Structures are given as C-alpha cells and as structure tokens.
Copies of this chain bind each other. A is one copy, B any other.
Amino acid sequence: PTYRIASIPGDGIGVEVLPQGEIVLRAAAERYGFTLRFDRFEFASCDYYLAHGRMLPEDWKEQIGAHDALFFGAVGWPQTVPDHVSLWGSLVQFRREFDQYVSLRPVKLMPGVDAPLKTARDIDFVIVRENTEGEYSQVGGRMFSGTEREIVTQETVMTRVGVDRILRYAFELATRRGTPHVTSATKSNGISITMPYWDERAAAMAAEHPDVAFDKFHIDNLAAQFVLRPDHFDVVVASNLFGDILSDLGPALSGTIGIAPSANINPERRFPSLFEPVHGSAPDIAGKGIANPVGQIWAASMLLDHLGERDAAAAVLRAVEEVLADPAVRTPDLGGTATTETCGRAIADAVR
C-alpha cells in the first residue's frame, strides 16, 4: 500500500526533529514493504503567521484533509506570537475540525532514561484523553466587568456522544493491548453535575465490557496514585482537562517528558489523525542541532500503528529502545553528546 503523509514541521526544534522522524519512517517502509509519500507544509508555524496574519491558509482542509496522517513537529514561538494564538490556531483547530477526539499518550519507562520516581519499576500504560469537548468549551462570559461585582463563568459541556465514544475507545484499546484494565479519572465528589454523568457512562461502558477490569479514582487521588503505584495502570481514560494534566504528570514521573509522543486520533478515519512529540518548539536550543529526535520518532511509531502497519510500528519502538540503551548516541538532554542527526540515523539503522 501507499500512504500519504502530510509533514508539518512547525517551529523551532520541530523543524529539526521532523526530518529524523521521516528518515525512520522511510526505513520502516523499506523493510516492511509499503510506500510513503511525504508532502511538506509550512503553515501552522509562527513564521507563517508573521507573513500571513493567520496560522493556517483558507483552504487548509483541502490541502491536508485527504492525507492518511499528519506528522507534526512542534508549534509556538512566544517571543513573537502569543501561545494562545499559535496553539489554538493550529493544533486545537486540527483536533476540532478533524474530529480527533482521542488524544493518546503512552507512559512507559525507557532504557537510558532516569525516572524521577524511586518506585519506578514496571510503568507501561496509556492515557486516553477526550480531546474535543468538556472543560475546553469556550462557552461562558463575564458580567459586571471591571467592577467589584465582576463574575466570570465558563461551562464544562459533556455530551452523550462525546463521552461514550472516548470511553468505548478506551475499553476497546484495553482489549486490543491485551491488558484488559481501564481506570477512569473522575471528580464526582467535587464537580457535582458533569463528573457524576461521566461516572454513569463509564459504569455503563464497563457493564458492556465484562472482560475488562474497571476502576475509577478521583483526580486528586489519581495524581497521588500515579506517584505511589504507577504500575497499577494500563489504560487511563479522562476528560479533556484531566487527561491534559495526567498526560504531563505521567511522562514527568517516568522521565520521558522530553521524548514522549502524542497521537490525536480520529478513529473512524474520516479525517487524518495527527502524530507529534509532546515537547514544544524549545526556543532555547532551537537551531543548534542537538534536539532529541526520539519524541518525533516515537510519534512515528504511533503513526504506523494507526495506519495498521503494526510490525513496522513495533520495530520502530524497539529501535528507539535499543538506541536509547546506547550512551554513545544519546543527545545532551540525556547526558550524551550526540546530535539530532546522529541519534536519528542510529534509530533508522536499527530499523533496517
């Protein structure tokens, strides 16, 4: 088969790590007998914004809407464009307009990476985050502006469709992973209307999947349990906000915040899904050729998995682990002296 990939480097180190992801993808394609066609797009970057006054062209959906996947670097250059402009104008747009309602983030110990947690032994789980509604509604407003009586409100909006489809995805993923255990993040003891609804739907979904073990924790306790027994978790499903928090906390605990990937998925494939490293554009090290390309390459593995190229996906992840175990090809952030290119090439070689 032939797959069309839209490559969108974005800003800063995005421009440096994305090509390494492409090299590894090409290596995987060669070895596993499929074809990749990359088209490169310069929009969704702050340079584009400064030239055009917007993050995306008018016809962005036509330009990338028919691709099989979006391979994204990083966006943001706060020195020139406020984050809410660059992020909402690109990533959040894609999520909503392409209905990428699943955000997927693996939390996994990796060789050569020092986890901050003493008890880190057997961490290997996935966070499934609702990516389109919930706490990020943009519905609300302000009253009595600028006075002592000022009131500001914002609604959390949960829909049956939105809640059920993310829960279903989590239960099906748990089954597929062979780790049939789903943990739901809630706060129904404090957020007294939307969260009990979330619990209700989660309980219904659990009843539909009797082979999947199910438990739930309030988000405060869940954050603590991530610290106290990270090996308890397999698939963690959460609302937009809770998923956002857990998606940073998990990788911080496993020491992978600089190398973890993120997938934004439209499971029905009506629209392309997006794969990117979790790290940002890192203005402080941009242009030096020392950025760690592992996040981008790990994202490439998720991209392959989404295309159904399971063996190739597994091979890329194995290659990442192999190379991380070798001090000679680690980038400075992991205590090594390798460049972005050396590290990327080593992983591509390990795939071949």
A interface, CB within 8 angstroms of B: 83-84, 87-88, 114-119, 135-136, 138, 140-142, 144, 147-161, 187-194, 197, 219-221, 223-225, 227-228, 240-241, 244-245, 247-249, 251-253, 257
Contact = CB atoms under 8 A, between A and B. Distances in A.
Contacts of A241: 187, 190-191
Given A221-B248, A227-B253, A157 B151 contact: yes
Q: Which 5 A-B pairs have the closest CB atoms?
A: A224-B252, A150-B160, A220-B248, A154-B193, A227-B252
Contacts of A191: 135-136, 154, 241
A10 B160 CA distance: 38
Contact of A157 (B116, B153, B221): B153
A196 to B, nearest CB: 8
A200 to B, nearest CB: 9
Contacts of A149: 159-160
A88 B196 CA distance: 14
A192 B152 CA distance: 11
B223 A248 contact: yes
Say how many copies of this protein the assembly contains. Answer: 2
B249 A228 contact: no
Contact of A247 (B116, B193, B220, B253): B220
A164 to B, nearest CB: 9
A90 B156 CA distance: 26
Given A154-B192, A223-B245, 9 more contacts: A88-B189, A136-B191, A136-B192, A153-B157, A153-B158, A154-B155, A154-B156, A220-B245, A224-B248
A160 B148 contact: yes
A109 B147 CA distance: 42
A161 B147 CA distance: 10
Contacts of A142: 193, 197
Contacts of A228: 116, 252, 257
Contacts of A223: 223, 245, 248-249, 252
A193 B160 contact: no
A188 B84 contact: yes
